[in-house]
């Protein structure tokens, strides 16, 4: 229902729709709530941060009706929008308007699409909590203007961003769908077109009662819609780059998009969406392996300012039965460090009571991360610590299912 002209999306005027002129392009200042934080490296706390973001490129009319949904497409960067530098052969980001020229199929959507692009677009290896805050600010500032949001993002850290957004957008009632591609959208065999087009379709899909079909932060990739905070990048070569090992896909895409409605979370309609912006990055991941030395474990647990450890253990949450390991973990826990046990296995859940080698960890104060992905455990800890919570509160909330990120059977 709209055309791409002169490098930008142009929506034809719609009948019976109110006309709203282009939004002003101006930097927006975000005043973050003042919460206690005495530690170094505590991000985004007690300060006002100016995120120079501009309003989306809107089209000729801003409107929403029951039969004409609207989607905001946020382009952060990544392979999907890259082009090969003829001199170096390396992939580099290029202009988003150019990217859209490669997808003339977007014209055929019965859906209004506005765009916002990061300037400059980034490789997702450069993604960080300040940029998550920027994405959340864009979404929350335009929350009432759109039915859904699609975020184009590099695949390398997409799972981390999806986890972070799932915690930052509390009581989300609209779809936020992340996607990207393994091959740039300008290439003949690209997977980007398919991913982008279907992500937009999912972001604008509604149930018969008019409510959004998937009011969750998700990753859509290669025919599967996955809960974002359950997803891991598993493949740097194939098109099926992501997998949700511990939670089934929310939808499978073939000729039809088959939604598994019983698996999709629904927001509390009595509460508004509440955006959060705070993170504390004093978190470390410690992977156990046979032969690991005390000096290594001790150094990690004594990193200045460290507040939480994601401990990647064996099988169902087991660790070597070494006196020094138990002592180091117990002392760290007693110093106030939160230690979360997740398994090195891709599928399955931590059950520390199952073997003596797991039970000993429980007795040192290590808590279960259940079936969390590593991406989820790290971002959830940074999120909770960022809000100035004490050790007990962080432990309690790590044990709670905040956004569908863990499976608790009891
Ligand atoms: N390096 C790229 C990124 O994550 C890879 C990709 O987009 O697939 O930004």
For 201-240, what is each residue's pLDDT tens digit?
Answer: 999 999 999 999 999 999 999 999 999 999 999 999 999 9
Spatial distance between the Cα atoms of 288 and 313, rounded to a whole number of angstroms: 6
What are the residue numbers of the active site?
A: 79
The per-residue pLDDT for 193 is 93
Q: Are 283 and 295 in contact (CB under 8 A)?
A: no
Q: Is 190 in the pocket of ligand 1 (CB under 6 A)?
A: no
Ligand 1 centroid from CA 404, angstroms:
26
The per-residue pLDDT for 56 is 67
For 239-265, what is each residue's pLDDT tens digit?
Answer: 999 999 999 999 999 999 999 999 999
114 forms bridges with which residues in the sheet?
A: 72
Q: Are 338 and 394 in contact (CB under 8 A)?
A: yes
The per-residue pLDDT for 57 is 59
Query: Which atom, in ligand 1's list, is nearest to the CA of 122?
Result: 9
Q: Is 156 in the pocket of ligand 1 (CB under 6 A)?
A: yes
pTM: 0.85
Please give the chain's pLDDT, 410 residues, in tens: 212 222 232 233 333 222 222 222 333 333 333 333 333 233 333 233 334 445 565 443 344 455 789 999 999 999 998 877 778 888 877 677 766 777 888 878 888 999 999 988 999 999 999 999 999 999 999 999 999 999 999 999 999 999 999 999 999 999 999 999 999 988 889 999 999 999 999 999 999 999 999 999 999 999 999 999 999 999 999 999 999 999 999 999 999 999 999 999 999 999 999 999 999 999 999 999 999 999 999 999 999 999 999 999 999 999 999 999 999 999 999 999 999 999 999 999 999 989 988 999 999 999 999 999 999 999 999 999 999 999 999 999 999 999 999 998 75
End-to-end CA distance of the chain: 49
Query: Which atom, in ligand 1's list, is nearest to the CA of 77?
Result: 9
Mutation test residue for ligand 1: of 77, 94, 180, 186, the one with most atoms within 8 Å of CB? 180
The per-residue pLDDT for 66 is 53
Q: Is 371 in the pocket of ligand 1 (CB under 6 A)?
A: no
Q: Is the peptide bond before 120 cis (omega within 30 degrees of 0)?
A: yes
The per-residue pLDDT for 403 is 98
The per-residue pLDDT for 55 is 59
Instruction: Dump the DSSP string for 217-240.
Output: EEEEETTEEEEGGG-EE--SSSS-
User: Which residue is closest in CA terms to ligand 1's atom 1?
Assistant: 123
Ligand 1 centroid from CA 408, angstroms:
33
Ligand 1 centroid from CA 81, angstroms:
10
| Alpha helices (runs of H) in 282-371, residue ranges in sequence order | 294-301, 323-334, 356-364
Q: Is 78 in the pocket of ligand 1 (CB under 6 A)?
A: yes
- 10 Å Cβ neighbour count for 68? 16
Q: Is 79 in the pocket of ligand 1 (CB under 6 A)?
A: yes
Mutation test residue for ligand 1: of 91, 125, 191, the one with most atoms within 8 Å of CB? 125
Spatial distance between the Cα atoms of 286 and 377, rounded to a whole number of angstroms: 12
């Amino acid at each position: 229902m709209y055309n791409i002209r002169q490098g930008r999306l142009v929506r034809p005027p719609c009948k019976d729709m109110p006309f709203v002129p282009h939004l002003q392009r101006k930097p927006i200042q975000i005043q973050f709530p003042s919460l206690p934080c005495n530690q170094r490296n505590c991000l985004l706390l007690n300060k006002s941060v100016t995120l120079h973001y501009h309003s989306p490129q809107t089209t000729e009319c801003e409107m929403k009706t029951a039969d004409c949904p609207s989607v905001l497409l946020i382009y952060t960067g990544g392979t999907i929008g890259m082009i090969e530098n003829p001199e170096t052969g390396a992939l580099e980001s290029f202009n988003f308007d150019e990217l859209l020229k490669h997808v003339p199929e977007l014209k055929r959507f019965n859906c209004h699409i506005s765009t916002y692009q990061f300037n400059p677009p980034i490789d997702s290896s450069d993604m960080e909590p300040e940029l998550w805050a920027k994405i959340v600010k864009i979404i929350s500032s335009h929350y009432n203007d759109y039915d859904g949001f699609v975020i184009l993002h590099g695949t390398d850290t997409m799972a981390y961003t999806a986890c972070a957004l799932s915690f930052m957008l509390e009581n989300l009632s609209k779809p936020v769908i992340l996607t990207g591609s393994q091959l740039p959208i300008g290439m003949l065999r690209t997977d980007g077109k398919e991913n982008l087009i279907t992500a937009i379709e999912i972001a604008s899909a509604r149930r018969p009662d008019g409510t959004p079909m998937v009011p969750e932060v998700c990753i859509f990739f290669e025919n599967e819609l996955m809960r974002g905070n359950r997803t891991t990048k598993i493949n740097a070569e194939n098109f099926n780059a992501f997998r949700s090992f511990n939670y089934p896909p929310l939808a499978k895409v073939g000729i039809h998009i088959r939604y598994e409605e019983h698996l999709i979370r629904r927001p509390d309609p009595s509460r508004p969406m509440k955006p959060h912006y705070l993170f504390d990055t004093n978190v470390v991941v410690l992977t156990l392996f046979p032969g690991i030395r005390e000096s290594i474990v001790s150094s990690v647990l004594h990193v200045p300012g460290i507040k939480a450890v994601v401990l990647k253990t064996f099988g169902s949450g087991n660790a070597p039965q070494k006196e020094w390991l138990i002592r180091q973990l117990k002392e760290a826990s007693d110093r106030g460090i939160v230690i979360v046990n997740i398994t090195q296995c891709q599928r399955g859940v931590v059950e520390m009571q199952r073997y003596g080698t797991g039970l000993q960890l429980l007795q040192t104060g290590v808590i279960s991360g259940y079936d969390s992905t590593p991406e989820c455990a790290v971002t959830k800890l940074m999120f909770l610590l960022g809000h100035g919570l004490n050790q007990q509160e962080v432990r309690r909330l790590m044990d709670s299912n905040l956004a569908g990120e863990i499976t608790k059977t009891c």
